[in-house]
Each structure stands twice: as C-alpha cells, then as structure tokens.
Chain A
C-alpha cells in the first residue's frame, strides 16, 4: 500500500530528536497499549501483518501527528472493531462512563 508510512527518501521531516536514557515507555497508557498489543496478538486476534497494515491505514495526517503508541492504539481498536470483538459505540460508551467516574 502506498501512503505516508512509506517514508524512505522523503524530504522535510527535520532533524532526529534523540532522548538520552529514554525509558521503554513514557507513560502508563503507553505501557497498557503495549500490554494490549501483546495480549491480543498472542490470543490470535490478529497477526503481525494485519497489525502493520492497520497502522498503515491510518489517515496520513493522523499518522504524522500521533505518537507511536497512539498509532498502535488506534490500529488495535480498528482491528477489534473490524473483527466484531467490540463496537465503536461500546468503546465510546465505556470512555464516557470512565470519564464520568474520573478514571484516568
């Protein structure tokens, strides 16, 4: 598939930003996204190639704007919805309910 992820040779992306002594995860939610990835791929919900393609199917503007684990999160969500394991409405409702209870 030909989209923004195919970055080799593109100009204009700026300098590399190197973080010294970078932690494996920068926040709890990144860690939880990684946990969800490992748990669902091991459970056979999807395979590597499906996951990679789900990331590539993100809208190009989102692909550029979102951090790496945010991309993972939306890719996993899309696969879960496409495989009828959750619905968008369920996710929205659960998020609203958690937000109402002050869950962070």
Chain B
C-alpha cells in the first residue's frame, strides 16, 4: 500500500481523517477534546511529585511503592492508561537509575503525563543503554565514577518511575513543600531533585 502524499501537510491530513471519522460515527466530535485537555492541564509530573514526596516522608508508603508500585501509586489517585504495571526504582548514594524506551516511547502517563520530545527521539533512545553517563552529562548531570548506573528499558507492559534521593537539609519541610523539589527529569533519571532554596 502506498501513501503517495504522506509527506504533505499533517494539519490537513488530521482534519480530513477526523471529519471522516465523525461523519461515519466512529468517534464523536465532543469526545476529541476532553482527554487531551486532561493531559494538558491535570495529568503531568506534578502527580509523580506527590508520589515521591509521600515516599520521602512516609517509610511505610515508600516500602509499598517499591514493592507494589501500581497499587501504591493508585493510593494517591493516579492510575489508568500507560500506568497499569508500575515499577518504582530507588536512587541511592551508590546507585542511579535511568528510564528509557529504546523501542518506542513508553512512559508512565498517570504520573508524568505525555513525554517530552527528547524522550521520544532517536538520540536518547539509542544512547541511554550504551553510554548513559555521557548522555547524562548532556542533561547537566555528572555522576561520580563509583556510582552505579542502572538503565531500565520499558517494554510493552512495564512502566518505570525513578524515586529520586531526597535532597539534604530538608528534614523540616512539609510533604507539599517537598513535592515542589521533585522535577520531571528527576523521576526519569535525567536529573536530581532540586536542592532546597536558601531561606531568606
């Protein structure tokens, strides 16, 4: 089968396909916006940050999160597509975890939302499993040679989330304040949680 005009305007092609799908009653026009809206406004890395902050303040929760990721994440209300089989991996002083999907773009949507472009593109996918330290340097993350790097390659079922290390000097911070230190990249493994801002 050839699609002779595949190269032309994707904006026009998606409008043509959508109008045909609505005309043929395959989808309803009203259904198209709702879910996308949710991914733009509600489902994103703030969800994952709440999970991480809870694990930082609650040892019991952290234990459940690391042993039964999916149900522990669901305790905070996050579940659904692309989060059905969650495995959470913990960063320590001796071990740094990094998540990739070399085959595709698998990503834990309920806790991180839709992935950034770099996660879906060839350089990250090809290099994460071969030269993770060099790759991490491009993200501004320099790891000591004695820190072990573990790379987790997502498959058709499992989605990974990194539990970053809790930054030093945050013992008195509330769970909500701690969540503010948790970045998207720290939960993929391409960054660390933010340091505490010096108090004024």
Of the 9-residue stretches B9-17, B56-64, B70-78, B164-172, which lies at the interface with chain A?
B9-17
Cβ of B44: which chain A residues have Cβ within 8 Å of it?
24
Cβ of A9: which chain B residues have Cβ within 8 Å of it?
102, 126, 129-130
Cβ of B18: which chain A residues have Cβ within 8 Å of it?
32, 35-36
A5 adjacent to B104 (CB under 8 Å): yes
Q: How far is the CB of B183 from chain A (nearest CB, A)?
A: 12
B121 adjacent to A17 (CB under 8 Å): yes
> A70 — nearest CB in chain B belongs to which residue?
B10
Summarize A's interface: helix, strand, loop or mixed. Answer: helix
Interface size range of chain B in the complex: 35 or more
> B29 — nearest CB in chain A belongs to which residue?
A39
Provided the pairs A29-B11, A36-B14 are in contact, do residues A45 and B26 lie with their beta carbons within 8 angstroms?
A: yes
Interface string of A45-79 (1 = CB under 8 A from B): 10011001001100000101000111001101110
B27 adjacent to A36 (CB under 8 Å): yes
* Chain A interface residues (CB < 8 Å from chain B): 5-11, 13-19, 22, 24-25, 27-29, 31-36, 38-40, 42-43, 45, 48-49, 52, 55-56, 62, 64, 68-70, 73-74, 76-78, 80-81, 85-86, 88, 90-92, 94-95, 98-99, 103-104
